[in-house]
């Protein structure tokens, strides 16, 4: 989850406590063991409130699982701020409803949570657009391998979702590629 603390590469393993919806620290029980891993179902209150409740109860990590069978599996929630009123957030991760309910039903004594910093970057611009446009060009050529590079470029440009000022501009180029429209327009 955005703003959640990171775990060491070995994760955090501790006693698992089912905190239900995690609306208050009391949802984690009267006296949960120090440093426990909180299992919390999504819904009713914000992710920040859930993780704060677990922190107040003494959790070292939180696992929040989805509450919708047809919703996203592992979702990317946010805690909203870089810290919890001055205290660093504990590691918090998300799981699908199926996985969360399976863990809750199994009642394992312990659980491990991993929120490891990876070498991924948030980038933008041509470095990020190029692989997407290249993939679309490959799809177009897969549909019609006889097209010339100029024809492929024209199909992509004429079927973008325009952003910013109309037509080409220096901030958004031709806009956001629209694979469905471009493939529909491919002869």
Quickly state the pLDDT bin for 122 (edges 50, 70, 90): low
Q: Which residues pair with 83 in a beta bridge?
A: 88
Asked if residue 105 lies in contact with residue 30, where contact means CB atoms within 8 angstroms, the answer is: no
The pLDDT score that the predictor gives to residue 129 is 79
Q: What pLDDT, in 10s, does the model give residues 46-60?
A: 999 999 999 999 999
User: Residues 98-125: what's their mean pLDDT?
Assistant: 80
User: Residues 128-138: what's their mean pLDDT?
Assistant: 87
Residue 86 has pLDDT above 60, yes or no: yes
Phi/psi for 46 (5° steps) reads -65, 160
Quickly state the pLDDT bin for 32 (edges 50, 70, 90): very high
Q: What is the dihedral of CA 143, 149, 151, 153, to 10 degrees?
A: 100
- Its pTM stands at 0.63
User: Residues 5-25: what's their mean pLDDT?
Assistant: 93
């Amino acid at each position: 989850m955005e703003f959640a603390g990171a775990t060491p590469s070995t994760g955090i393993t501790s006693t698992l406590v089912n905190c239900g919806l995690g609306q208050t620290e009391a949802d984690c029980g009267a006296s949960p063991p120090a440093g426990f891993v909180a299992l919390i179902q999504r819904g009713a209150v914000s992710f920040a409130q859930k993780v704060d409740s677990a922190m107040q109860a003494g959790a070292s990590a939180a696992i929040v699982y989805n509450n919708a069978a047809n919703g996203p599996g592992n979702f990317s929630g946010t805690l909203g701020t870089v810290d919890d009123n001055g205290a660093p957030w504990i590691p918090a991760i998300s799981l699908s409803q199926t996985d969360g309910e399976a863990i809750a039903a199994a009642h394992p004594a312990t659980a491990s949570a991993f929120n490891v910093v990876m070498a991924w970057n948030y980038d933008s611009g041509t470095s990020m657009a190029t692989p997407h446009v290249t993939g679309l060009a490959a799809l177009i050529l897969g549909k019609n391998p006889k097209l010339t590079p100029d024809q492929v470029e024209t199909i992509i440009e004429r079927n973008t979702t325009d952003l910013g000022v109309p037509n080409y501009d220096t901030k958004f180029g031709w806009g956001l590629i629209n694979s469905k429209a471009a493939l529909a327009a491919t002869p």
